Homo-oligomer: A and B are copies of this chain.
Amino acid sequence: MCHDGVLRVRRGKALVFNMRNFAGHRNISERQGSEHDVARLRDVLTSLHLTPIIYEDKTRNQVDTILEEVASEQDLADDDCLVVVYMSHGAENGTLEAFDRALQLQDLWECFIPGRCPSLWGKPKLFFVQACEGSKKMEAAVAPSKKSKGLPTTTSTDIVGDEYTIPSHADFLISKASVPGHVSHRDVISGTWFIQTLCDVLVEHSQMEDLVGMLTLTGARVARHFQTSEGFRQMPSYTSTLRQKVFFTPPQ
């Protein structure tokens, strides 16, 4: 499980939070079309042998409680990974909206570091976030020509202790619809650019490609195939401390 190299995921929970409606006093717009992302994710995650659990319009306290309860579950010990999908409105610096108030991106993952969730020690903890990260719309960058080719540090030893330990923040992946400062886009008829494309790529490539490879493909497709009627584009990004290539399917 925890060796360098390749990990094939055969089992794991997938918590899917979809925030469509928000408390009336907040005047935040309904996320119309988000049901398409939920339905698609349920199908695709199931096809990857994961167990999707859908949560709709939860308050911040409910989100916290759900995550903490999952982190303390004994049966995580039998899982190969954990997936968390969070879909809502968002803003700069990792702010994500719940039904009644905001939370921070790090609130999603902090309870799964090994000190708080030993059951997931050494296992991939995979977060997918569909939200804006600010209000800037991303300019399209036109190809320049048809011919274009396109802190205080410390000294240390390198002794490894007898016990096998890893850094507390290893094995996390956070995949996001956009980059800091910029909006992400949702189509009310077909769902969000990012989640729908991610699902397409997972279905088409999970037999051969590892997760990071599929995120590269997802980014390439969103970058290539979508733009708003005003010409704005979107660039997904991901941040990784994974120590292995993660595959969702057994070798053929």
Q: Which residues of A contact B (CB under 8 A)?
A: 1-2, 4, 29, 31, 33, 77-78, 80, 89-91, 113-115, 118-119, 121-123, 131-135, 138-144, 148-161, 163-170, 179, 182-188, 192-193, 212-213, 215-217, 219-221, 223-229, 231, 233-245
Contact indicator B233/A167 (Cβ below 8 Å): yes
**Least Cβ distance of A30 to chain B in Å?**
11
Contact indicator A119/B144 (Cβ below 8 Å): yes
A148 is contacted by which of B77, B135, B149 (Cβ under 8 Å)? B77
Contact indicator A143/B155 (Cβ below 8 Å): no
| Interchain residue pairs with CB less than 8 A apart (8) | A1-B148, A89-B152, A141-B166, A151-B183, A153-B185, A156-B228, A157-B228, A216-B243
Q: 10 tightest CB-CB pairs across the interface, nearest first? A: A1-B150, A132-B151, A114-B141, A140-B165, A167-B235, A220-B243, A118-B144, A167-B233, A4-B220, A156-B228
Kindly list chain B residues whose C-beta atoms are within 8 Å of the C-beta of A153: 31, 89, 132, 183-186, 192
CA gap between A177 and B101 in the complex, in Å: 34
Closest to A157 in B: B229
Kindly list chain B residues whose C-beta atoms are within 8 Å of the C-beta of A119: 144
A169 is contacted by which of B29, B155, B235 (Cβ under 8 Å)? B235
Contact indicator A122/B139 (Cβ below 8 Å): no
**Least Cβ distance of A177 to chain B in Å?**
9
Contact indicator B151/A131 (Cβ below 8 Å): yes
**Least Cβ distance of A218 to chain B in Å?**
10
